[in-house]
Amino acid sequence: DTMRAPPELYVFGSGNDVQPVTEVAGKLDFRVTVVAFRGARADPDAFPHADRVVAAGAPRVADKLELDDRSYAVLMSHNIVDDRMALESLLETDVPYVGLMGPTERFEEIRDALAADGRDLTDADLDRIYAPIGVDLGGGAPYQIATSIATEVLAVHNGRDPGHLRDRKSPIHARR
């Protein structure tokens, strides 16, 4: 039997809300990298549950990271300009999931800014963008939000549409 490397989760941002996401995602067997823009808090001690912490510039962030179809991205820098530039860069990769923190209106503002720069989002782009990020669990506390985010990423990684198991008509796990 071969063993595959764990999927990679890249969390872009260095605010206090990043820490719970790195902890929950790590417990879900993701290899977690925190990407701090412009060196802000690119301190591994600030994110003890991350596998690594790196500093990168938002405009060409995808050029500095090893991203593929088993990489997942969460944009939560709380800086709309950085998130827009990182989103544009990430869409040039094979990353199947780009989650964007913030309300729908924030994503619409980013989409409009991209369109004004001549970068209209395609249907394929929109299929990869999850905004607002997360599964609707109804919680607002930091670890509840982190669980919502990590749950959505895990569901996408496993090719699942999150829902209640009681509503599932087929086996929970694939039969071998």
Q: State the DSSP string of 7-47.
A: PEEEEE--STTHHHHHHHHHHTT-EEEEEEETTTT--GGG-
Q: What is the mean pLDDT of residues 128-147?
A: 94
Q: What percent of the chain has pLDDT over 70?
A: 95
Its pTM stands at 0.92
> Quick one: which H or E segment has residue 56?
strand 52-56
Q: Which of 135, 13, 153 is nearest to 80 (CA)?
A: 13
Mean pLDDT of the chain: 92
Measured distance CA(173)–CA(105) in Å, rounded: 37
Distance of CA 62 to the CA centre of its chain: 13
Report pLDDT for 10. 97
Q: Which of 45, 109, 122 is nearest to 79 (CA)?
A: 109
172, pLDDT greater than 90: no
Under a CB-based contact definition with an 8 Å cutoff, are residues 22 and 50 in contact?
yes
Model confidence band, residue 17 (pLDDT cutoffs 50, 70, 90): very high
Q: What is the mean pLDDT of residues 87-99?
A: 96
175, pLDDT greater than 70: no
